[in-house]
């Protein structure tokens, strides 16, 4: 979902100026305001607090999570081999 800051603020019933302050951390939002922002963005409220490091994949990406757990602890060359095999499998057939 692509929204401008102004559109997000309007849909969450706050000012764009206040939303900017929330993003910069110069003002605090109430839990109710954060819930409205999350609802507009159609994300769980916890995602607003997640860092790149703590973000969890949505359930529909469970396959990716399972795949990552298979290759996470493998050596670099093994990971490269898995990538090459995946590319070969997913390669579009040439125009025959």
- Tell me: the pLDDT tens digits for 43-87? 989 888 876 555 555 666 677 777 778 888 889 899 899 989 988
pLDDT of residue 16: 94
pLDDT of residue 72: 80
pLDDT of residue 12 exceeding 70, the answer is: yes
Distance (Å) of CA 26 to CA 18, 29, 47, 75, 77:
9, 10, 20, 44, 46
CA atoms within a 13 Å half-sphere pointing along the CA-CB vector of 3: 16
pLDDT of residue 7 exceeding 80, the answer is: yes
Overall pTM surpassing 0.95 (yes/no): no
Q: CA-CA distance, 38 to 47, in Å (whole number)?
A: 8
Mean predicted lDDT score pLDDT of the chain: 84
């Amino acid at each position: 979902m692509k929204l401008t800051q102004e559109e997000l603020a309007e849909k969450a019933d706050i000012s764009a100026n206040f939303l900017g302050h929330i993003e910069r951390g110069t003002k605090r939002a109430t839990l109710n305001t954060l819930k409205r922002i999350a609802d507009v963005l159609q994300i769980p409220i916890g995602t607003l607090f997640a860092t790149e490091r703590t973000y969890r994949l949505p359930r529909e990406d469970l396959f990716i999570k399972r795949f990552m757990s298979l290759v996470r602890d493998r050596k670099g060359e093994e990971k490269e081999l898995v990538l090459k095999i995946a590319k070969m499998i997913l390669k579009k057939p040439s125009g025959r």
